[in-house]
Amino acid sequence: MNRKLLLWLLGAGTPVLLLLLWWATSLQSTDTFFPPLKDILQSFQQLWLFAHFQSDVLVSLGNLLLGYAMASAVGVALGFVIALVLVARNVLEPLIHFLRSIPPVALVPIFISLVGFGTEMRVFSIALAALFPTLIATVDGIRSVDSGLKDVARVYRFTTVEKVTQVYLPSAAPQIFSGLQVSLQVAFVVMIASEMLGPSQGIGAMTLLAQQSFMISDMWAGILLLGVIGFAANIVFSLIRRRVLAWYIGSRRLARSS
């Protein structure tokens, strides 16, 4: 029991220790690239709380959410069509396979050329890039719906809507969620990339600008904020997943333990 407590302390303590170490060793730092953590935190507070909060942080997050929401909705809906309609599958699958192989960030220059540097460009870039993981996971998930469940739906004469919402969707949900998780990460990357390639708005743009104008602690503050957002987005996603897929997580845990 004592050993367990010790290990637990080690787990919680290491990150704290690392932060303290960073703070202490950087305190006297004169290295241009690695300023004191104290300065970085100061910049963080000055920049993001709250001078640029509305103008940049909220804009970035808004684009991210909007693009991601579009990608999720279209990805799941299109995934259903492709999985259930044979013709759609044959026509679209090779095309999708090709499009998803393009590094998502490489689509950003194309969107810039098509719709300029505005908000639309960012949202569309995010949406299109984040579409494919969800779409492909949805197709896979629906195709692997158990034939037993499909028979049940037919024997009890479920309507098409019931089949889709009561059988296919929940049954494919675990796979859809893993697709959504990848999509979220892609959306985040493309959000940053679209800001770095575009004009001067958003956290990514601010961070790159700080780097280019050699305001190193501002750049660090940007990196820190992006890191926190990446982490927080993942946490929020995991919480939602745990709620929605409680049945799945529970059954898997039970199956593993037996």
Partner 1 sequence: MKIQPKTLLTSAAGFLVAVAAWQLVATGPMAGGPLPTVTSVAVNLAAVVVTEAFWTSLATTVGIALLGLLTSAVAGIALGILVGSFEPFRYATVAVLEFLKPIPPIVILPLVVLVLGPTGQMSWFLVFLGCLLPIIMQTVDGVHDADPVARDTARSYGLKEPEILLRVVLPSAMPFIGTAIRVAAPGALIITVVAGLLGGGPGLGQSIYQAQAGGDYPTLYALVIVLGVLGMFFQGATSAVERRMLHWHESFREAAHR
Partner 2 sequence: MKTIFSTSRTSSAATAAQPGKNAMTEEIAPADTTSAPPRLDVSHLAKTYGMGDKARTVIEDLTFTVDAGEVVCIVGPSGVGKTTLLKCLAGLHPSSSGRAAIDGRTISGPPPEMALVFQDYNRSLMPWLTVRKNLMLPLRHLHLSAAELKERCDDALAAVGLSHAEHQYPWQLSGGMQQRVAIARALAYRPEILIMDEPFASVDAQTRFDLEDLCLKIRRDFNMTILVVTHDIDEAVYLADRVVVLGSKPARVLRIVDVDLPAPRDQITTRSLPEFARQRTDVLSLIKRPA
Q: Which residues bind partner 1 (CB under 8 A)?
A: 7-8, 10-12, 14-15, 18, 33, 87, 90-95, 97-110, 112-114, 185, 188-189, 192-193, 196-197, 207-208, 210-211, 216, 219-220, 222-223, 226-227, 230-231, 233-234
Question: What is the closest distance, in whole angstroms, from the C-beta atom of residue 40 to partner 1 in the complex?
Answer: 11
Q: Which residues are CB-contacts of 88 (< 8 A; sequence separation ≥ 6)?
A: 81, 82
Question: What is the closest distance, in whole angstroms, from the C-beta atom of residue 133 to partner 2 in the complex?
Answer: 22
Nearer to partner 1, 153 or 175 (CB): 175
Category of 220 on φ-ψ map: left (φ > 0), alpha (ψ -120 to 50) or beta: alpha
Q: Which two tokens stand for residue 233?
A: 């987005």
Nearer to partner 2, 39 or 140 (CB): 140
173 binds, among partner 1, partner 2, none (CB under 5 to 8 A by kind): partner 2
Question: What is the closest distance, in whole angstroms, from the C-beta atom of residue 218 to partner 1 in the complex?
Answer: 10
User: b/e string for 180-198 if b means 16 or more Cβ within 10 A?
Assistant: bbebbebbbbbbbbbbbbb
Nearer to partner 2, 38 or 253 (CB): 253
Alpha carbon 191 to its chain centroid, in Å, reads 10
Number of H helices, E strands in the chain: 12, 0
The Cα 221–Cα 227 span in angstroms is 10
Binding footprint of partner 2 on the chain (CB under 8 A): 146-149, 151-152, 154-159, 162, 166-167, 170-171, 173, 247-248, 250-251, 254-255
Angle between helices 246-257 and 216-244 (to 10 degrees): 80
59 binds, among partner 1, partner 2, none (CB under 5 to 8 A by kind): none
Question: What is the closest distance, in whole angstroms, from the C-beta atom of residue 154 to partner 2 in the complex?
Answer: 5
Q: Are 46 and 38 in contact (CB under 8 A)?
A: no
Question: What is the closest distance, in whole angstroms, from the C-beta atom of residue 73 to partner 2 in the complex?
Answer: 21
Q: Please state the length of the chain.
A: 258
Nearer to partner 1, 58 or 114 (CB): 114
